[in-house]
Amino acid sequence: MRHILIMLALACATIGCTQLRNNNDRLGERAAEEYLTPVHAGGEGRPFWNGFSKKFMYAPSFDFCTTEGAVEYLYTIKSTDGGCWSFRAETPQQPLSPVWNDIPEGSTVTLTVEGMNETGQIVGCAGERTFFRDFGFHPPYHAPVRGYRDAAVMGMLYVHTMPQIQHWKESVLPDMTYPHNTYPCKIIGATIQVETLLARELPHLHDEAIAIARNAAEFLIAQSRKEGEPLAYFPPTYYKELAASKEEWNRGKTMTMEASAAGEALLDLYDATGDERYLNHAKGIADTYMRLQNADGSWHIKLDFTTGEPVNNSRAMLAPLLRYLWRLERDYNMPQYAEARRRGEEWMKEHILVRFDMTGQFEDVTVLGLQPYENLTNCTAAPYGSYLLQRDATDEEVATCYELVRFSEDQFVYWDQPRDKNGLCRDACPCVFEQYKYAMPVDNSACNVAGAMLDLYEQTGDELMFAKAKALIDNITVVQCVNTGKIPTTWRLRLNYKPTFWINCTYDSVLTLLRMEQMCVSEGK
């Protein structure tokens, strides 16, 4: 009897493994098929966004000009290892779909498009481009090394026990030995959010965590512009003179979207304590945003912190602000922000989404002097896709979210990488790079893309979106330090490389891990 039970167990395990393998094969095949369709292809009135792109996962097309005398175009793709593929098309702007899945992943290739006349002779070169043909999605990837909630709690406890965080128990000023405190809205706001979340998840630490959050909030409130000033209730983007705070182009300035991060933190603290002071300050921030909105529905990206005057004509990407206004409207019965939010959505649709210029807007990277599309990022694309699905999304908005997610995957996700002479990847794959200017795998970027993929899964039931998101989220548990719970911000694998650590990024990782835990429990995954 015992032998029969063992044989049955082995048979069930074999069937389970076979089903899992078949499911992975099916998902990989579907991903490969989707990679044949370019992301937001240019042409026919749509601009090409990929002039500065260095790698592609989805078959690209390029902004090559027609050649005089040409009636057809010869596309020739050569890899550095001698491979060659070709096809013909009527225009020089066709996607590389006919041969895309024939090109080995992980290859650096050069594309040449040449015009041909009626007799088949070459009459000129329409364009040439060298790029990396990236690895696609081929599950399975790393299994999680611990439960999602366990990983989230470990990450929060690491932050909570940092000496610079414990410092807040007795002080209303930041400990600047953690230099990222030079960005108050982002980092001190995230400190408040980590502590309020910890207070909810670990009741035995509730009082201590709330005391830390309250003192951090006191600092943000004390540093905010006063009522009646142009930027009333806005905490500063920069404090002291460390890192980007000491740059001349940042002194006395503020990034317009940053105040919404502080507002989100104060709302979290209000939810945890019921203290109306935090809600009122968060509302004051939103009221100032209302006064700052331009007639076309946009907001300027950067302002003088004293006068509130724009310091340049660049406009902000609006995902964090629109999400903030929507939260106030939805959760706190404040409909007065609905019209400003709607106008902001219209501006994003008519200007940003039309151009598909997902330019990075970071407090430590200037936008001055940038050409369009020169510094694209997932950090403006994926979060906006997520925002669109937070409300009652239309079919058009769901399709837009898919485009933003595919763009983010195409340009910033690395499912795999070529091995070096030691057989090692450069980075902890699968991972997501932050932006063109900071080509580094960052946990917050993995959360951005995975979060939007989970949103699409919940909206549409798309299992491929769930599988991709899970692969990225599982890797958070892999890179997490098993002894301390620290979740490194950057995932570069190099001897003597010290990963960076940003509290706001850890907070995003914690939220993403907890969301994955809830989804797996509720759906039995």
In tens digits, the chain (525 residues) has pLDDT values of 555 544 444 444 445 556 667 899 999 999 999 999 999 999 988 999 999 999 999 999 999 999 999 999 999 999 999 999 999 999 999 999 999 999 999 999 999 999 999 999 999 999 999 999 999 999 999 999 999 999 999 999 999 999 999 999 999 999 999 999 999 999 999 999 999 999 999 999 999 999 999 999 999 999 999 999 999 999 999 999 887 777 877 899 999 999 999 999 999 999 999 999 999 999 999 999 999 999 999 999 999 999 999 998 999 999 999 999 999 999 999 999 999 999 999 999 999 999 999 999 887 777 777 899 999 999 999 999 999 999 889 999 999 999 999 999 999 999 999 999 989 999 999 999 999 999 999 999 999 999 999 999 999 999 999 999 999 999 999 999 999 999 999 999 987 889 999 999 999 999 999 999 999 887 776
* Both structure tokens of 380: 């403006």
Do the beta carbons of residue 472 and residue 415 sit within 8 Å? no
CA distances to 50, 83, 84, 102, 417 from 107, rounded to whole Å, are 18, 9, 11, 11, 10
Q: What is the dihedral of CA 412, 415, 420, 426, to 10 degrees?
A: 50
> Residue 21: its pLDDT value, please?
77
Say if residue 98 is exposed, middle or buried (CB neighbours under 10 Å; 0-12, 13-18, 19+).
middle
Tens of pLDDT, residues 17-76:
566 678 999 999 999 999 999 999 999 889 999 999 999 999 999 999 999 999 999 999
Phi first, then psi: give them for residue 358, nearest 5 degrees. Answer: -85, 60
Contact 504, 187 (CB under 8 A): yes
Q: What is the 3-state secondary structure (H, E, C) of 181-223?
A: HHCHHHHHHHHHHHHHHHHHHCHHHHHHHHHHHHHHHHHHHHH
Residue 12's H or E segment, with its range, is helix 2-34
Query: Residue 187 is which amino acid?
Result: I
391-397 long-range Cβ contacts below 8 angstroms, 24+ apart: 391/326, 393/459
Query: pLDDT tens, 351-406?
Result: 999 999 999 988 777 777 789 999 999 999 999 999 999 988 999 999 999 999 99
Residue 350 per-residue DSSP state: I
Alpha-carbon distances of 424 from 201, 228, 418, 496, 500, rounded to whole Å: 38, 58, 8, 15, 21
Asked if residue 140 has a cis previous peptide bond (ω within 30° of 0), the answer is yes
**Number of residues that this document lists for the chain:** 525
> Within 13 Å, how many C-alpha atoms sit on residue 485's CB side?
20
User: Strands across the sheet with 84-89, in order?
Assistant: 55-56, 122-133, 107-116, 72-79, 84-89
Q: Among 405, 419, 356, 374, which Cα is nearest to 135's?
A: 419
Cα–Cα dist 95/59, whole Å = 6
Whether pTM > 0.85 for this model: the answer is yes
Angle, in degrees to the nearest 10, between helices 206-223 and 258-273: 140
Q: Report how far residue 370's alpha carbon sits from residue 133's, in angstroms, rounded to the nearest whole number.
A: 26
Cα gap 392→369, rounded to integer Å:
38
Q: What is the spatial distance between Cα 214 and Cα 269, in angstroms, rounded to a whole number?
A: 8
- The tokens of 393 are what? 């999304």
Residues 6+ apart with CB under 8 A from 184: 174, 219, 220, 223, 235, 236, 237, 238, 239, 262
Q: Can you list the alpha helix ranges (DSSP code H) found in 274-412?
A: 276-292, 319-331, 338-347, 354-355, 378-388, 395-412
Q: How far apart are CA 108 and CA 278, in angstroms?
A: 53
The span from the CA of 255 to the CA of 257, in Å, is 6
Rounded to whole angstroms, the Cα distance separating 47 from 356 reads: 8
- Looking at residue 19, its pLDDT comes to 65
**pLDDT score for 7:** 47
Residue 155, φ and ψ in degrees, nearest 5: -65, -40
Identify whether 144 is preceded by a cis peptide bond (ω within 30 of 0): no
Domains of the chain: 23-52+58-133 (2.60.40), 148-523 (1.50.10.20)
